[in-house]
Chains A and B, each alone.
Chain A
């Protein structure tokens, strides 16, 4: 029996670059890299030649010039004497505000709609189907424009609330007034305010900070209490009663804070022709928020429905067979599994909402697109720099959120063999 011990000659021929699978992938990659670099070089060469022809370079110095325009909604101090960078910051905060409000409201509405769509109540299930289909199949821009038109055209002017027999009235126990210029809502005031703290260019509102710290702290303490209860349960088999500790941890700090700061609501009231007191929210914000919420909630409803449907019936049957009550079955068996299906697309809906908030341009809400990509761009003529910066900021927001999503996905991933 002849055994071939000699290895074939490893002579290298040019054809092996294409025909030998060991080298082919390297050849392809080098060709691709070469083509991409060629394309990039062509674009950059064109850019440099065009800029040279215009006699300009790429210069972000315009950001420190005086902006010279007013913004109708500012979360941080801003006047038309501030710089373009400051205007950009105001726009960014407005974008984040609308995205934050929209995500919260869309999640609540979407979960309710998704669960109700699965209910065995014929009327409600059909209603939710109609809602979801209508909102998913019509452009968001139309909803934004339509809701904004409702606000500006169909609502009464502030002075319609006047007089003995007013043409319009406030809603929600006389606390909220929808007018065609703004929406007046109650707002927190502090009798013993902590004032502001300056950190570099940013002014920090200490009252709000204290509330946020109290809420987050309460939440964390509650989690620690529950963890301890679980540990005791696992060691002894008996779960200690924790409900009053939880209540205390969650609401105690806030209640203490309320008395320390003298917090109470300031309600809007009519003075002359306008409302004073409370907070006057511009209609562009409210309309944009409502439209984004209703639109995104329709998508979230579908995600929730798919997530619940994805859990096979055997899971809940097994739980019942183990003797778990329906509430426990939901909390311990169904939800943890459904969440794994729901969360990733949910987060990508949050991303979509954030990106869609750039349609604020349609109602004149001054978000990042309206300040940096709108008035600043037009005033300075620095289109290239402004768009680059705009894209970079949106990209950072997106990548941050999707990075967080990946971390979450890793942590809940099924541990497979």
Chain B
């Protein structure tokens, strides 16, 4: 009797069957993501129709682009020759021809290398701040960059920015000298007072004296000649660099227990946030002279930058306040328990956490600030969006060109703002310490 042959035991597995066609691959994806219900199907069709409508209307116009022409009429002639009468096409030649104007405004053309160099150095200065893999020594360059950038853009004697930087060195030295004699607090006061006195009374004459001994100077450029993206970047980056520290100070002031400091901060923040930026810019251009000693003439870009900094700082203060409020009380109490004083607690415990929470809000304030640089056109500066475009359109060659300049300027703004928001997401991810 051979039992082993009579029972059936499978010795090899059947091959796996392919899943039903509706449950795999593209069909499954389509069913789940596009046509899962009646409403979804309608939405999908509407969405595709909208995209198709836009593409059908814009793609032919874009495909008939002209890059080489000297005027709008020449552009239209070329399009008519190439694609037949009665069709329209994009005339990017305006960007090509007015490229320097869009970048530099009315900056003297033989000095274009200066803003370009300033921009390159800006990238070098910003890089170590943004990416912590780069050598930390580069931060020293970031610290002196404001003076370098100022000198390159506006020109004039090299000793003015050098003497301005010297103020910080003097403050540091004053603190070092006073500290062993009179203690920490007086040293702090000295570190603040000495540079202020230096800048107010000594820096100017010192710069003049050094200039007469050792004349190193670049040809100076007036603020009214700035324009285009040089102007937008100058205002945008200066605003960003100065509004963050001011905003943090205001936030601390608003969270402070000291009645007067608290009320002053609240008043300032609420006032700035309550009025449109455009009215502040008008105040800067029309009214600031009323509030300065008779006869002072204040640089217009500097005034605009001050207003933009104050405006952005008030918003950042609110964002940072949110971050401070989100910290559990235990963090403050732990810092107190360790015996840290106020500034040490802020620097080591509170701020690193509060700022981390506030990153998205801070960066979107920065993006808003950069976009708001276009508003300077209303105080007579030539921003790339309206100022330069109007100037371009005022010439007979380019009268009547509308879409191309807008699309070009919009694209540049989009690239920079989008990059900023992506960077903030990268930073958030990098600094994330919770394990959720």
**Closest partner residue, chain B, to A134 (CB atom):** B414
The reply to whether A124 and B294 contact each other, CB–CB distance below 8 Å, is no
A138 pairs with B413, CB closer than 8 A = yes
Known: A29-B261, A142-B409. A133 touches B47 (CB 8 A): no
Give B36's nearest chain A residue, CB to CB.
A120
B350 smallest CB distance to A (angstroms): 18
Instruction: Tell me, yes or no, whether A384 is within 8 Å of chain B by CB.
Output: yes
Q: In the docked arrangement, what's the CA distance between A50 and B286, Å?
A: 13
Complex contacts, B283 vs chain A, CB 8 Å: 387, 391
Task: Say yes or no: A137-B34 contact (C-beta < 8 A), given A51-B290, A145-B406, A384-B287.
Answer: no
Distance between Cα atoms of A395 and B271 in the complex (Å) = 7
CB pair B43–A391 under 8 Å, yes or no, is: no
Is A55 an interface residue, CB under 8 A from the partner?
Answer: no
The interface residues of chain A lying within 8 Å CB-to-CB of B402 are 149, 153
Q: A221 to B414: give the CA distance in the assembly, Å.
A: 49
A46 touching B40 by the CB < 8 A rule? no
- Chain A minimum-CB-distance residue to B286: A383
Question: Which residues of A have CB within 8 Å of B292?
Answer: 46
Complex contacts, A358 vs chain B, CB 8 Å:
276, 278-279
Given A138-B414, A362-B386, A32 contacting B279 (CB threshold 8 A): no
A387 in complex: contacting residue of B43, B271, B286, B417, CB < 8 Å: B286
Taking a contact as CB atoms under 8 Å apart, the answer to whether A373 and B264 are in contact is no
How far in angstroms is the closest Cβ of chain B from A406? 12
> Counting CB contacts under 8 A, is A318 at the interface?
no
Of A19, A153, A390, the residue contacting B279 (CB under 8 A) is: A390
User: A111 in the interface, Cβ–Cβ < 8 Å?
Assistant: no
Which of B36, B279, B410 touches A369 (beta carbons < 8 Å)?
A: B279
Whether A19 and B185, one on each chain, are in contact in the complex, defined by CB atoms closer than 8 angstroms, is yes
B282 within 8 A of A: yes
State in angstroms the CA–CA spacing of A206 and B167 once bound together.
68
Smallest CB separation, B406 vs chain A (Å): 5
Given contacts A49-B294, A145-B386, A359-B278, contact A137 B44 (CB under 8 A): no
Contact with B along A13-44 (1 / 0, CB 8 A): 00000110000010011001100100000010
Residues of A within 8 Å of B277, CB to CB, are 355
Q: How long is the Cα–Cα vector from A52 to B279 in the complex, in angstroms?
A: 25
Does A100 count as interface, using CB distance less than 8 angstroms? no
Q: Known: A49-B294, A373-B279. Is A124-B417 also a contact (CB below 8 A)? A: no
Instruction: Choose the segment among B17-25, B64-72, B371-379 that binds chain A (4+ C-beta atoms closer than 8 Å).
Output: B371-379
Decide if B123 is an interface residue (CB 8 Å cutoff). no
Q: Is B385 a contact partner of A141 (Cβ separation < 8 A)?
A: yes
Instruction: Report the separation of the CA atoms of residues A384 and B286 in the bound assembly, to the nearest whole angstrom.
Output: 8
Residue-wise interface mask of B (368-397) relative to A, using a CB-CB cutoff of 8 A (1 in contact, 0 not): 000110110110000001100000000000
A124 contacts across to B, CB distance below 8 A: 43-44, 47
Q: Is the CB of B371 within 8 A of A138?
A: yes
A46 and B410 contact, Cβ closer than 8 Å, known pairs A124-B44, A124-B47 = no
Q: What's the least CB distance linking A120 to chain B, in Å? A: 6
B291 and A47 within 8 A (CB): yes
C-alpha spacing A63/B321, complex, angstroms: 40
Q: Is the CB of B374 within 8 A of A123?
A: no
Contacts of A387 in B (CB 8 A): 279, 282-283, 286-287
Chain B positions within 8 Å of A138 at CB level: 371, 410, 413-414, 417
B270 close to A (CB within 8 Å): yes
Cross-interface CB contact of A116 among B43, B257, B278, cutoff 8 Å: B43
Complex partner residue of B276 from A33, A134, A145, A356, CB under 8 angstroms:
A356
Our count of residue pairs bridging A and B at CB distance below 8 angstroms stands at 148
Chain B contact residue count (CB 8 A cutoff): 56
With a cutoff of 8 Å between Cβ atoms, the chain A residues found around residue B47 in the complex are: 121, 123-124, 127
B258 within 8 A of A: yes
- Indicate if the CB atoms of B282 and A123 lie closer than 8 Å: no
B364 nearest in chain A by CB position: A136
Q: Which of A18, A29, A136, A362 contacts B258 (CB 8 A)?
A: A29
**Chain B residues near A390 (CB-CB < 8 A):** 279
Would B185 and A141 count as touching, CB distance under 8 A?
no
Nearest B-chain residue to A51, judged by Cβ: B290
Do A141 and B421 touch across chains, with their CB atoms under 8 A apart?
no
Alpha-carbon separation in the docked complex, A245 to B367 (Å): 50
Instruction: Find chain B residues with CB under 8 A from A213 CB.
Output: none
Cβ–Cβ contact A123 & B44, under 8 A: yes
Let me know if B418 is at the binding interface, CB within 8 A: yes
Q: Which of B34, B279, B378, B385 contacts A121 (CB 8 A)?
A: B34
- Alpha-carbon distance A387/B277, docked complex (angstroms): 13
Q: Is the CB of A25 within 8 A of B374?
A: no
Interface core residue of A18, A43, A51, A122 (most chain B CB under 10 Å): A122
Q: Contact: A50 with B44, CB < 8 Å?
A: no
B219: CB under 8 A from chain A? Answer: no
Minimum CB–CB distance from B340 to chain A (whole Å) comes to: 13
The reply on B181 being an interface residue by CB < 8 A is no
Return the chain A residue nearest B360 by Cβ. A306
Cα–Cα, bound, A135→B247 (Å): 26
Give the Cβ gap from B161 to chain A, nearest Cβ, in Å: 26
In the assembled complex, which residues on chain B have CB atoms less than 8 Å from the CB atom of A53?
Answer: 294
A18 to B186, CA, bound (A): 9
B130 CB-CB contact with A under 8 Å:
no
Contacts of A62 in B (CB 8 A): none
A176 to chain B, nearest CB (A): 19
Across the A-B interface, the 6 shortest Cβ-Cβ residue pairs? A398-B274, A137-B417, A355-B276, A139-B371, A122-B33, A395-B274
The residues of A with any CB-CB pair to B shorter than 8 Å are 18-19, 25, 28-29, 32-33, 36, 43, 46-47, 49-51, 53, 116, 119-124, 127, 133-134, 136-142, 145-146, 149, 153, 351, 355-356, 358-359, 361-362, 369, 373, 383-384, 387, 390-391, 394-395, 398-399, 402
Given contacts A121-B33, A139-B372, 13 further A-B contacts (CB under 8 A): A25-B257, A28-B261, A29-B259, A124-B44, A124-B47, A139-B374, A139-B385, A142-B406, A149-B406, A359-B278, A369-B276, A383-B286, A394-B275
B residues neighboring A (CB under 8 Å): 32-34, 36, 40, 43-44, 47-48, 50-51, 185, 257-261, 264, 270-271, 273-279, 282-283, 286-287, 289-294, 367, 371-372, 374-375, 377-378, 385-386, 402-403, 406, 409-410, 413-414, 417-418, 421
9 residue pairs of the A-B complex, CB under 8 angstroms, read A127-B47, A138-B417, A139-B374, A139-B410, A140-B371, A142-B385, A149-B402, A369-B279, A398-B275
